[in-house]
Amino acid sequence: MRATPTPQTWFGASVRGPAHGRHRVAKQDAWRGTSGRFGSLVVVADGLGSRPHSRLGALAACRAAHQAVRGLSAHEAADPSTLFARIESCWRAELAPRDPAECSTTVMLSVVHRCGGVLLGQVGDGLVAYGAEHVAERLVRERTGFGNETDALGLPGRRPLWHFRWLPAPPAGFRVLLATDGVADDLRPESLGRFVDHLAQEFGPLPPPERHRRLVAELRAWPTPGHFDDKTLALHWTQRGRPS
């Protein structure tokens, strides 16, 4: 007998940045939401602009995360280090025979496991923020990496550093915001909770097609002057009701 699908508990959108549009460069962000026996997953990736095939790397990271979590038990969450190693292995297999160093990408993910816990993970820049009751806390508080180069999958000579947190019993109304630098760099720490509230209240109740259209329009009309980056964000919540 097939397992009953998990109700959708996420939404998101991704747009190409103005600079990429002017120069006819493909969007280097990617994201994916999916569900299965394990629960639900949202993953966001941002290919490094200095790499020639970073778009492929970001797309492959989303597929790899999905492949990795499909093997999770419906009753017991995996050890985070084992899951992250599986994601990287799947990512490299997705890209073969390309050199992973040409496809480097950051990764942010949120797994709401059917057992009730939530696993958050991040490699490199971007934002994973989580909380409830109008409050949101960053998973990674400071920029990772050295100098101008962030940490990422596929960097030659070093393993990616995963920041993570396992929350075995998140509170009711728990929400996770995942966003690439084009969004995250313009969000002040004290405004994260209000921004998550805005997304949940303005977009959560809408029918999916209208919600996606309006969210894309908001990202394209991003209010920060001189914004150039691709912009991707997603909101993920537990099955205990709508985000609020």
In a domain, 2, yes or no: no
Tens of pLDDT, residue by residue over 60-89, are: 999 999 999 988 876 677 789 999 999 999
* Share of residues in the chain with pLDDT > 70 (%): 87
Closest by CA to 212, choosing from 6, 8, 15, is 15
In a domain, 122, yes or no: yes
pLDDT of the residue at 3: 45
Q: Which residue has the higher pLDDT, 138 or 147?
A: 138
pLDDT tier at 2 (50, 70, 90 boundaries)?
very low
pLDDT tier at 130 (50, 70, 90 boundaries)?
very high
pLDDT tier at 5 (50, 70, 90 boundaries)?
very low
Domain containing residue 154: 10-237
In a domain, 244, yes or no: no
Answer yes or no: is pLDDT of 146 > 90.
Answer: no
pLDDT of the residue at 145: 47
- The answer to pTM > 0.85 is yes
> Rounded to an integer, what distance in angstroms lies between the CA atom of residue 220 and that of residue 182?
11
Answer yes or no: is pLDDT of 149 > 50.
Answer: yes
pLDDT tier at 144 (50, 70, 90 boundaries)?
very low
In a domain, 160, yes or no: yes
Average pLDDT over the chain, rounded to whole? 88
Answer yes or no: is pLDDT of 244 > 60.
Answer: no
Answer yes or no: is pLDDT of 33 > 90.
Answer: yes
* Share of residues in the chain with pLDDT > 90 (%): 67
> Rounded to an integer, what distance in angstroms lies between the CA atom of residue 129 and that of residue 121?
11
CATH number at residue 109: 3.60.40.10
Contacts of 185 (CB under 8 A, 6+ apart): 229
In a domain, 86, yes or no: yes
In a domain, 5, yes or no: no
Count of beta carbons in the 10 Å neighbourhood of residue 227: 16
In a domain, 192, yes or no: yes
Q: Provide φ and ψ at 207, rounded to 5°.
A: -60, 145
In a domain, 3, yes or no: no
pLDDT of the residue at 25: 77
Domain count along the chain: 1
